[in-house]
């Protein structure tokens, strides 16, 4: 892709205002008077703030669900959605990612591009649902669970294509619409769950309630697009482009299939090889680790359209990618330190003493978020650079390793073995294999160099505070102090970063003033 001297020069470019800085405007949709830096910054802040509220609502729903259902039924609920989720790759077929890139590069045809994607995905969703129902008995889901499977499939598969028009919120960097809609859905879901728990509803009614909330989300997305005229007509199905979309999406779909396997197969295998009681504690810890996924989603949802537009400008493309790695790796390892040290307290506060076995699982599983964060940046960068053909290679190998490790570890160590299998396979698929492939090596090395300092710092802090345990509040202060000092000494956080943050806040507030009048 480029020679080593170019990579080195680009990697060492300062992230500061200048001719090629992140503050320079790009020709994206939206108010032309706004610089790109404040627009991205405000969009990320909106996403993190909104997703933070979503996190609170989702966390409350997760806690309520766990306390109401108990470990065994929570395991059944989690295993059911994990199984249906295995077919999500076929429903989207990578089209959501490809459509975002196509719309970013051809904004005037957005309506027709998205309509074509919705039609393709709808047909695939029907096929995916039929396959899921037919194969369910093979995975241990009896005929008695068929009604639950049907409603879970409507939620996770059949409604997915109708969410695709919401891609325009991402492309236009106006994702507060999507965040707001998601908040409404989470609030309604929490309210529905409270009412169902008060009425002592069955698991079937809980899944029906969740499906109805998903339907509400779809309706709000379509209403927002129509009322704000995000997609100007006329729309038409681009039959000539449909084949190319599927062709572009195929490697992403294969990658999504593999990711779905090594993200979900552990829960399906625990359901099959262990028990729903064991699975329930595992699901409880997984739900907590997944809550922090809002950070890579928020950052990369804003950065992907920019990466897609600057991919032909090598220096600027890598600068945005480098900025993404730096911010997300610092967050990922910070989360790992605190969750590892305080996993017992977190589980007790969230679920109560009866879920105590989930605490050591959480302390292990939280480290899987490092390759998850890394992989989100890599996959966005590769798709933007039209290098998505490498994704199935890494994720396919990761999925195979995950299955083999789970077959070996679950009979011996149960959920703990599955947690370690998850960490190993995620790291292999999302980080190490990208260093092996020649076409992806330079991008992965860029990220790996950024990953190394916070990784060493996180391991050091965790080892010290595990060896010399301190009382809760003092342990927290020690972790904060060591993290801050280490981040400064190792250059994880720089003075230029803080200065740029202040400038971005100032420019964001300034650019927001005309819109408030």
- Give percent above pLDDT 70 in the chain: 84
pLDDT of residue 488 exceeding 70, the answer is yes
Q: Which residue has the higher pLDDT, 12 or 196?
A: 196
CA–CA–CA angle 487, 490, 495 (5° rounding): 70
For position 120, what pLDDT does the model report? 92
- Give percent above pLDDT 90 in the chain: 27
Residues 232-245, mean pLDDT to the nearest whole number: 83
For position 140, what pLDDT does the model report? 74
In a domain, 23, yes or no: no
The DSSP letter of residue 386 is T
Which two three-digit tokens encode residue 9?
A: 């020069």
In a domain, 10, yes or no: no
For position 12, what pLDDT does the model report? 33
pLDDT of residue 474 exceeding 70, the answer is yes
What Å distances lie between residue 187 and 61, 174, 202, CA to CA? 9, 21, 21
For position 498, what pLDDT does the model report? 53
| d(C-alpha 371, C-alpha 377), whole Å | 10
Lowest average pLDDT, out of 6-20, 46-60, 154-168, 235-249, goes to: 6-20
For position 207, what pLDDT does the model report? 92
In a domain, 321, yes or no: yes
For position 21, what pLDDT does the model report? 32
Return the axis-axis angle of helices 95-105 and 239-273, rounded to nearest 10°.
Answer: 150
Residues 131-135, mean pLDDT to the nearest whole number: 91
Instruction: Residue 497: give the domain boundaries.
Output: 35-512
In a domain, 471, yes or no: yes
| d(C-alpha 407, C-alpha 262), whole Å | 13
In a domain, 55, yes or no: yes
For position 432, what pLDDT does the model report? 93
For position 154, what pLDDT does the model report? 92
Residues 428-439, mean pLDDT to the nearest whole number: 91
CA–CA–CA angle 105, 113, 323 (5° rounding): 35
Lowest average pLDDT, out of 3-12, 141-150, 253-262, 345-354, goes to: 3-12
For position 40, what pLDDT does the model report? 60
Q: Which residue has the higher pLDDT, 169 or 451?
A: 451
For position 493, what pLDDT does the model report? 67
pLDDT of residue 170 exceeding 80, the answer is no
Residues 117-141, mean pLDDT to the nearest whole number: 89
Q: Is 299 exposed, middle or buried (0-12, 13-18, 19+ CB in 10 A)?
A: buried
In a domain, 15, yes or no: no
Q: How many CB atoms lie within 10 A of CB 227?
A: 8
In the chain, how many domains are there?
A: 1
Residues 388-406, mean pLDDT to the nearest whole number: 86
For position 314, what pLDDT does the model report? 85
The DSSP letter of residue 437 is S
Confidence tier at 262 by pLDDT (50, 70, 90): low
For position 360, what pLDDT does the model report? 93
The DSSP letter of residue 231 is S
| CB within 8 Å of 138: residues ≥ 6 apart | none
The answer to whether the beta carbons of residues 477 and 415 sit under 8 Å apart is no
| d(C-alpha 303, C-alpha 171), whole Å | 10
Closest CA to 288 of 332, 207, 343, 353: 343
pLDDT of residue 26 exceeding 50, the answer is no
For position 157, what pLDDT does the model report? 92
Which two three-digit tokens encode residue 58?
A: 């989702």
Lowest average pLDDT, out of 22-26, 61-65, 106-110, goes to: 22-26
Structure confidence by residue, pLDDT tens digits, 441-464: 999 999 999 999 999 999 999 999
Residues 210-238, mean pLDDT to the nearest whole number: 87
In a domain, 458, yes or no: yes
Taking the model in full, what pTM does it have?
Answer: 0.66
For position 247, what pLDDT does the model report? 86
In a domain, 389, yes or no: yes
For position 315, what pLDDT does the model report? 87
Residues 112-139, mean pLDDT to the nearest whole number: 90
């Amino acid at each position: 892709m480029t020679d080593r001297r170019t990579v080195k020069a680009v990697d060492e470019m300062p992230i500061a205002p200048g001719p090629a800085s992140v503050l320079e405007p790009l020709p994206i949709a939206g108010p032309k008077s706004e610089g790109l830096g404040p627009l991205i910054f405000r969009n990320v802040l909106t996403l993190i703030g909104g997703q933070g509220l979503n996190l609170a609502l989702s966390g409350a729903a997760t806690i309520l669900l766990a306390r109401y259902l108990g470990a065994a039924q929570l395991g059944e609920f989690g295993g059911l959605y994990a199984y249906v989720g295995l077919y999500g790759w076929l429903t989207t077929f990578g089209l959501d990612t490809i459509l975002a890139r196509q719309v970013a590069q051809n904004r005037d045809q957005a309506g027709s591009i998205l309509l074509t994607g919705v039609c393709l995905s709808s047909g695939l969703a029907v096929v995916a649902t039929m396959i899921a129902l037919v194969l369910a008995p093979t995975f241990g889901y009896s005929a008695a669970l068929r009604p639950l499977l049907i409603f879970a499939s409507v939620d996770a598969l059949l409604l997915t294509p109708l969410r695709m028009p919401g891609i325009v919120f991402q492309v236009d960097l106006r994702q507060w619409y999507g965040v707001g809609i998601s908040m409404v859905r989470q609030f309604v879901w929490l309210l529905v769950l409270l009412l169902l728990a008060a009425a002592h509803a069955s698991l079937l009614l809980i899944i029906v309630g969740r499906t109805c909330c998903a339907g509400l989300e779809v309706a709000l997305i379509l209403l927002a697009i129509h009322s704000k005229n995000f997609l100007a007509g006329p729309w038409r199905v681009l039959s000539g482009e449909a084949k190319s979309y599927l062709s572009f999406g195929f490697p992403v779909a294969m990658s999504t299939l593999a990711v779905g396997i090594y993200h979900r197969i552990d829960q399906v295998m625990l359901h099959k090889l262990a028990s729903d009681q064991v699975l329930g504690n595992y699901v409880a810890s997984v739900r907590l680790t997944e809550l922090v996924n809002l950070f890579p989603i928020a950052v990369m949802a804003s950065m992907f359209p920019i990466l897609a537009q600057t991919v032909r400008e090598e220096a600027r493309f890598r600068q945005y990618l480098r900025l993404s790695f730096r911010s997300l790796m610092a967050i990922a390892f910070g989360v790992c330190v605190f969750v590892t040290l305080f996993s017992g307290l977190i589980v007790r506060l969230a679920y109560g003493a009866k879920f105590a076995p989930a605490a050591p699982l959480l302390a292990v599983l939280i480290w899987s978020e490092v390759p998850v964060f890394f992989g989100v940046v890599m996959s966005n960068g590769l798709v933007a650079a039209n290098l998505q053909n490498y994704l199935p290679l890494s994720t396919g190998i990761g999925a195979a390793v995950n299955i083999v490790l789970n077959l070996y570890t679950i009979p011996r160590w149960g959920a703990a073995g599955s947690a370690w299998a998850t960490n190993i396979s995620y790291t292999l698929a999302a980080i190490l294999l990208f260093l092996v492939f020649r076409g992806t090596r330079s991008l992965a090395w860029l990220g790996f160099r950024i990953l190394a300092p916070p990784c060493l710092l996180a391991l050091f802090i965790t080892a010290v505070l595990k060896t010399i345990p301190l009382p809760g509040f003092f342990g927290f202060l020690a972790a904060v102090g060591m993290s801050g000092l280490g981040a400064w000494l190792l250059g994880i956080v720089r003075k230029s970063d803080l200065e740029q943050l202040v400038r971005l806040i100032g420019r964001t507030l300034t650019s927001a003033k005309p819109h408030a009048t």
